[in-house]
Structure 1
């Protein structure tokens, strides 16, 4: 490899924040590292996103225990990516919930994704030896599922494809708060390597139509207040659209992946270069945008071998 992925050298410890985004609702954030969410019900707790390892999941549990001693009954995983799901065993929940599509993607590409992500971003897998294996849901659904934590209602919904084919969101109506996973980010690059550029915007529109008062995004700070929520949604849209448009222009004239890389850098660096994990995401984003623009409708499976081959092509 000509040089390491940007993320392989990112070993800086991130500061954890635990922010209340509604009554009994919290966002666990860490300066652009993967976020988790906490929903406290009458008798038990639901966790949104499990972190990459049980050791990292215990940091979420420590924050939960600072505000409640209620048992953790549910873990909701918004999609299949390793950094979101492999810590689920630490919560010892009664139910682990995914969309039907996300479960299918665990079966199709879960191990490949784990191997790929571990190679790319080793810091996010602190305590990786504690991972018992792939995380499988106990419960799945297609379009919508409602969970009651006592009287507290949580609506789990697949609103459309965006970050992956199987993305879901969690909406808590009594506080009008949403946990969006990686469909929405805040001052953090979107990872689009398994995404659907042409559909992401429509999914953002469906989220925006809820007019929520707060969002716990996939990465970045908690979004409190409709002004901050809408700004983050539109910023995410701009990131996705800018990436795709630049790559699509190159693909339309028969240019190479390296040409697309240069074009996306020219379009996106001035606006997004200071975002968390920007350099990490960029090669995968360009590769997927270039594929989609050339008619490859569904994201190809990333493997540790494919990662290296793509990166060497871009560095040549």
Structure 2
């Protein structure tokens, strides 16, 4: 295999933003496989689900929101702890920043390391990095399993359905429209990032999500899923990728193969089916490394640092 540029450092092309209503007063902000945000317009205020990576990037979301409402943003909800989802939160001026207890614990444990790691991996997503406030973005409100935010008479129900993309993922469900914001638990035409994943748990979490039979969904990456067939396809594709990857890695671990040999064989196995998905080449080294650890009995993902990222890339792709 050729040795590609590290992670997504060579991905410099601008993406076209889409902003579409997928339920009454519920919007999807998407950008050709870049991180998505979900927006709910309530009676008196607005909720934003996933904040983008910097305040500068968040201003683009705010601009789209202002095209449909002048109501203030009262709540920013973080689906999990990754910097690309959270560091833009201060731009919204929200009275509450909400995430799960587990996500906050991960910010405490590894937030600084993740910030440096993600900026190094994908600088285009951190445009205006100098607009990030010093330090980390901290939630004002956390919960363990379920919480409801009321935007006047409109409920946004936040739920921790299980471990998956991270230990702290949550989804947001709007009962009045049966629309769900899934965060990175579901991707659509984009490669799931699994560097902090729990492969054994993730399919069960997807089962719990599918049980809502959502009428529409905003996935973490990829186009908005605007009907039940698209939602089912998004969940099915995410599940297939996770299963194919983890089963392949487990077989190589059982055979006593090294991490590099495992990566090379899994890359060869998965590329025909998934190689055209967004950020496939970026994600796969991180994914295989985490799957190799979990298959070897390590339940708690190791912390990624900028230094570890680059050493791993050299070891597997150099």
TM over 0.5: yes
2:212 matched to 1:202? no
Question: Which residue of the other structure, out of 201, 221, 224, is the alignment partner of 1:222?
Answer: 224
After superposing the two structures, state which structure 1 stretch, 208-217 or 254-263, moved more. Answer: 254-263
Give, in angstroms, the shift of residue 4 of structure 1: 2.9
Deviations 1:137-165 (A, max 9, x none): 00000000011100001100000000000
Q: In the alignment, what sits opposite 2:182?
A: 180
Unpaired runs of 5+ residues, structure 2, are none
Q: In the alignment, what sits opposite 1:104?
A: 105
Give, in angstroms, the shift of residue 266 of structure 1: 2.0
Give, in angstroms, the shift of residue 290 of structure 1: 0.6
Q: Secondary structure at the match of 2:232?
A: helix
Q: In the alignment, what sits opposite 1:64?
A: 65
Q: Secondary structure at the match of 1:35?
A: strand
Give, in angstroms, the shift of residue 11 of structure 1: 0.2
Q: Contact (CA 8 Å) 2:27, 2:40: kept in 1 or not?
A: yes
After TM superposition, list the pairs within 5 Å mapping 1:39-188 onto structure 2. Answer: 39-132=40-133, 133-188=135-190
Deviations 1:251-305 (A, max 9, x none): 1111111111122112210111111111111110010011111111111000011
Give, in angstroms, the shift of residue 3 of structure 1: 5.6
After superposing the two structures, state which structure 1 stretch, 305-314 or 161-170, moved more. Answer: 305-314
Q: Secondary structure at the match of 2:201?
A: helix
CA distance in 2, matches of 1:239, 1:3: 22
Q: In the alignment, what sits opposite 1:192?
A: 194
Deviations 1:208-242 (A, max 9, x none): 00011000000000001111100110000001111
- Give the TM-score taking structure 1 as reference length: 0.98
